[in-house]
């Protein structure tokens, strides 16, 4: 916070973000950075400011502080300049008109529905496990399916993870929140693949196990501040999580000693023993 | 070409042709609607209380003869301006309905139902009754445009007010919108009632005409006053199409796909106010065109505004001409106010939409 470095060109950087909602300070001087080519997860208990941080960085809530994307101050970019390098998936999206799935996904193409015929929307649908859904009505789908349609729209918008050395960004608000375990893996694999090809991925995550499996970098929020940042191994520890989430969270690691995992069942065990 | 080939099964990619695409259907519908409009135009010119005949007139013209006086007056000075005004007003009402529904992200938003027409009508009544109190110079400058300009301003004001009241944080509350519309309508009705007491006989006749809505007062002057305002609003509509499509995702998401949300909102409100205001100024309160037409088109070819807006203009014009013909024929030689016909056709459709979307209205 003391040193002021010039914004890096392949990063999403937020400095000194403060958000005031009514009388409550939801975020207090938060600094955040994510590097392209990695999956960055924002985790934390309910009300810790995860989604607010994401919304501040996408310009959806009024905030103080600066946000730099690929080295450019986002406040100075027009909506279409931003849309060309960054796509944002909302937590949920209800649509009041009878659009088909394909029509929704096509909104992600830069010229919208009138765009020249492109295979990208269909490829995107296949990538989120919705092959064959193109002609279905969006309103008739289940919540999890709608969420994946939105993800397909979002990846359609920034289909190439990298163009002329400039990384593109996926900003996702709980992308797997209402998905079954199989589709959680589909979607998280997709984000990994996007990052592996040079794109940037920032996702608010609820599931700490999925975070441990798929994130390269974890930002742990607590009461409007960043409580810890680092690799999953560094952040997802017994001590940190137990303190932040205010309940005992035993963390173990998978046999090779690499990926941390949470075993909430262990808590049940211990309480049973103690009573 | 696939950047995500690792997670995509290549067999999963279908041929684009196999996916139903409603854009082609919408284009065919445009052609059909053009034909329909042409047909209603011809019918509209040939039907009416008088014995004047379009065919006799055409035969005369073809033979190089002068038109009979009767034919000339009925066709050129009565039916033709009425036809032009029907097309303008029908297109204006249908397109402003579609634009407003896109703006509010709700198929029930219609200038007539949510009070925009009432606001425009109130301003028009004020202009009729109180116009004489304006400075003479202003009266001269505005001339016959005074009432339409006032109606436009009234429509603009009420749309802005409505948007402020019913939209919070980019989310529109249907219930608030409809209730605010009731309040606006009641207020406009009350003020109009007061103004009626201050009006003379001539003004009273003008005022009665607002309540019902009619194309009977069509003159070339009115057509020429309404044409530029409605024309401008209709010309702006195609530029709004992408923005309105994006707005279906919500304001924030629309911004994220590159849409200048505030600009789209402002232009949409101006277009609605212009089209509704001009239509109300020349024809009074004709309801339900703005809700029936877009709804039917969405059922047929989907909600994509690129095709919805032009098709709404065509179908709105054709529907209003047809309603006007019914109004002229059922009780001939007298005629019904056209607002009665459109309400009989439109109110059940409105109720039907309400019924299907009841869940969203729970307050």
A274's tokens: 């103690």
Residue pair A32/A2 in contact by the 8 Å Cβ criterion: no
For A143, residues 6+ apart whose C-beta sits below 8 A from its C-beta are A92, A178
- Residues in chain B closer than 8 A to A84 (CB atoms): 258
The band of B52, judged by pLDDT with boundaries at 50, 70 and 90, is low
Mean pLDDT of B251-280: 89
Nearest-CA distance B275 → chain A (Å):
23
The band of A115, judged by pLDDT with boundaries at 50, 70 and 90, is low
**Using CA atoms, how far apart are residues B204 and B220, in angstroms rounded to an integer?**
23
Residue A216 pLDDT: 94
pTM: 0.86
**How does DSSP classify residue B110?**
-
Cα–Cα–Cα angle for B168, B171, B177, rounded to 5 degrees: 75
Mean pLDDT of B170-194: 79
**Using CA atoms, how far apart are residues A73 and B109, in angstroms rounded to an integer?**
38
CATH 3.30.1130.10 fits B68-355, yes or no: no
Mean pLDDT over the full length of chain A: 87
- Residues in chain A closer than 8 A to B175 (CB atoms): none
Q: What is the pLDDT of residues B223-254, one digit of tens each?
A: 988 899 899 999 998 899 999 999 999 888 99
Q: Residue A245, Cβ neighbours under 10 Å: how many?
A: 17
Percent of chain B with pLDDT over 90: 26
Task: Report residue A67 CA to chain centroid gap.
Answer: 16
B122's tokens: 């109130």
Q: Do B8 and A126 touch (CB under 8 A)?
A: yes
**Using CA atoms, how far apart are residues A18 and A22, in angstroms rounded to an integer?**
13
CATH code for residues A11-236: 3.40.50.300
- Residues in chain B closer than 8 A to A97 (CB atoms): 105, 107, 248, 298, 303
The domain spans of chain A are 11-236, 237-275
Q: Do B16 and A90 touch (CB under 8 A)?
A: no
Helix H or strand E segment including B237: helix B220-247
The burial class, CB within 10 Å (0-12 / 13-18 / 19+), for B15 is exposed
The domain spans of chain B are 68-355
**Using CA atoms, how far apart are residues A217 and A34, in angstroms rounded to an integer?**
8
More confident residue, B356 or A20: A20
**Using CA atoms, how far apart are residues A51 and A92, in angstroms rounded to an integer?**
12
Radius of gyration for the alpha carbons in chain A, expressed in angstroms and rounded:
19
For A129, residues 6+ apart whose C-beta sits below 8 A from its C-beta are A148, A182, A183, A186
Residue pair B283/B215 in contact by the 8 Å Cβ criterion: yes
- Highest mean pLDDT among A132-136, A201-205, B195-199 belongs to A201-205
- Residues in chain A closer than 8 A to B100 (CB atoms): none
**Using CA atoms, how far apart are residues A149 and A130, in angstroms rounded to an integer?**
8
Q: Which of A55, A79, A97 sits opposite B248 (nearest CB)?
A: A97
pLDDT at B215 over 50: yes
Q: How far is CA A77 from CA A58, A69, A160, B138, B206, in A?
A: 12, 10, 20, 44, 52
Nearest-CA distance A30 → chain B (Å):
22
Identify the bridge partners of residue A24 per DSSP, sorted by sequence position.
A21
CB contacts < 8 A, A to B, total 127
Find, in chain B, the residue whose alpha carbon is nearest to that of A114.
B306
Residue A257 pLDDT: 63
Helix H or strand E segment including A41: strand A39-43
pLDDT at A24 over 60: yes
Find, in chain B, the residue whose alpha carbon is nearest to that of A153.
B257
ipTM over 0.90: no
Find, in chain B, the residue whose alpha carbon is nearest to that of A188.
B7
For B216, phi and psi rounded to 5 degrees? -65, -30
Q: Do B256 and A197 touch (CB under 8 A)?
A: no
Q: How far is CA B161 from CA B80, B148, B149, B164, B301, in A?
A: 37, 20, 18, 5, 32
Q: Which of A111, A134, A193 sits opposite B7 (nearest CB)?
A: A193
């Amino acid at each position: 916070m003391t040193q002021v470095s010039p914004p890096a060109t392949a990063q999403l950087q937020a400095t000194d973000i403060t958000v005031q909602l009514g009388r409550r300070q939801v975020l207090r001087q938060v600094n955040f950075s994510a590097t392209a080519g990695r999956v960055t997860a924002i985790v934390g208990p309910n009300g810790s400011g995860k989604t607010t941080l994401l919304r501040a960085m996408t310009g959806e809530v009024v905030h103080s502080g600066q946000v730099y994307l690929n080295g450019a101050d986002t406040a100075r970019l027009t909506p279409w300049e931003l849309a060309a390098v960054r796509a944002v998936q909302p937590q949920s999206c209800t649509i009041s008109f009878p659009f088909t799935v394909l029509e929704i996904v096509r909104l992600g193409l830069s010229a919208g529905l009138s765009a020249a015929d492109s295979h990208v929307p269909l490829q995107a649908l296949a990538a989120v496990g919705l092959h064959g859904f193109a002609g279905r009505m969006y309103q008739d789908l289940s919540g999890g399916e709608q969420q994946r349609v939105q993800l397909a729209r979002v990846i359609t918008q920034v289909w190439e993870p990298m163009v002329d050395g400039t990384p593109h960004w996926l900003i996702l608000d709980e992308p797997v929140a209402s998905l079954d375990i199989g589709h959680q893996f589909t979607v998280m694999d997709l984000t990994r693949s996007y990052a592996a090809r040079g794109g940037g991925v920032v996702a608010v995550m609820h599931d700490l196990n999925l975070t441990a499996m798929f994130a390269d970098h974890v930002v742990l929020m607590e009461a409007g501040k960043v409580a810890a940042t680092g690799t999953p191994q560094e952040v997802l520890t017994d001590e940190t999580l137990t303190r932040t989430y205010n309940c005992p969270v035993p963390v173990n690691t998978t046999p090779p000693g690499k990926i941390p995992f949470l075993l909430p069942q262990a808590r049940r065990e211990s309480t049973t023993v103690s009573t | 070409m696939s950047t995500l080939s690792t997670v995509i099964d290549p067999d999963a990619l279908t041929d684009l042709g196999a996916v139903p695409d409603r854009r082609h259907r919408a284009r065919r519908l445009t052609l059909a609607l053009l034909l329909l409009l042409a047909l209603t135009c011809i019918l509209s010119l040939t039907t009416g209380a008088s014995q004047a005949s379009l065919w006799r007139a055409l035969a005369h013209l073809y033979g190089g003869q002068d038109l009979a006086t009767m034919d000339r007056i009925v066709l050129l000075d009565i039916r033709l301006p009425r036809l032009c005004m029907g097309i303008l007003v029908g297109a204006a009402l249908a397109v402003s309905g579609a634009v407003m529904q896109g703006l509010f992200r709700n198929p029930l938003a219609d200038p007539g139902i949510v009070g925009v027409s009432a606001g425009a009508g109130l301003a028009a009544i004020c202009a009729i009754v109180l116009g004489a109190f304006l400075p003479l110079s202003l009266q001269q400058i505005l001339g016959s445009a005074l009432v339409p300009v006032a109606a436009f301003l009234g429509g603009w004001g009420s749309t802005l007010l409505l948007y402020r009241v019913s939209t919070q944080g980019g989310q529109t509350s249907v219930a608030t919108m409809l209730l605010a519309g009731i309040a606006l309508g009641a207020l406009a009705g009350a003020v109009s009632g007061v103004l009626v007491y201050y009006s003379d006989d001539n003004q009273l006749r003008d005022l009665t005409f607002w309540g019902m809505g009619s194309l009977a007062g069509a003159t070339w002057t009115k057509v020429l006053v309404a044409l530029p305002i409605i024309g401008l609003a209709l010309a702006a509509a195609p530029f709004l199409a992408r923005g309105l499509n994006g707005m279906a995702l919500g304001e924030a998401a629309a911004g994220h796909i590159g849409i200048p949300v505030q600009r789209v909102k402002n232009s949409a409100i101006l277009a609605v106010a212009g089209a509704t205001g001009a239509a109300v100024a020349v024809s009074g309160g004709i309801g339900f065109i703005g809700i029936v037409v877009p709804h039917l088109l969405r059922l047929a070819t989907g909600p994509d505004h690129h095709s919805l807006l032009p098709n709404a203009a065509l179908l709105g014009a054709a529907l209003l001409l047809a309603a006007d013909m019914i109004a002229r024929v059922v009780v001939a030689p007298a005629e019904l106010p056209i607002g009665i016909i459109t309400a009989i056709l439109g109110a059940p459709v409105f109720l039907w939409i309400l019924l299907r979307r009841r869940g969203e209205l729970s307050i």
